[in-house]
Amino acid sequence: MILDFGSINMDLVMAVTALPRPGETVLCDGYVTKPGGKGSNQAVAAARAGAKVAMAGAVGDDGFGQVMRATLAKEGIDTALIATSDRPTGVAYICVDARAENFIAVGSGANLAVRADQVPDDRLTSETLLVLQMELPPEQNWALLQRARARGCRAILNVAPAAAVPEAALRDLDLLVVNEHEALAIAGGLGLDTSSPRAAAQALSGRMALTCVVTLGGEGAIAVGPGAGFAVPALPIQPVDTTGAGDTFTGVLAAGLDAGLPLDQALRRASTGAALACLALGAQESMPTAAAIDAALPRLGPTTAIG
247 flagged as catalytic:
yes
Neighbours of 285 (CB within 10 A): 17
132-168 burial, b at 16+ Cβ within 10 Å, e below that, comes to bbbbbbeebbbbbbebbbeeebbbbbbbbeeeebeee
Environment class of 3 (CB within 10 Å of its CB; exposed 0-12, middle 13-18, buried 19+): buried
Question: Comparing C-alpha atoms, which of 240, 307, 287 is closest to residue 71?
Answer: 287
Q: Is 27 helix (H, G, I), strand (E, B) or coil?
A: coil
Catalytic residue among 241, 247, 258, 294: 247
CA-to-CA separations, 178 to 97, 109, 214, 304, in angstroms, rounded: 24, 25, 5, 19
**Annotated active-site positions, please?**
247
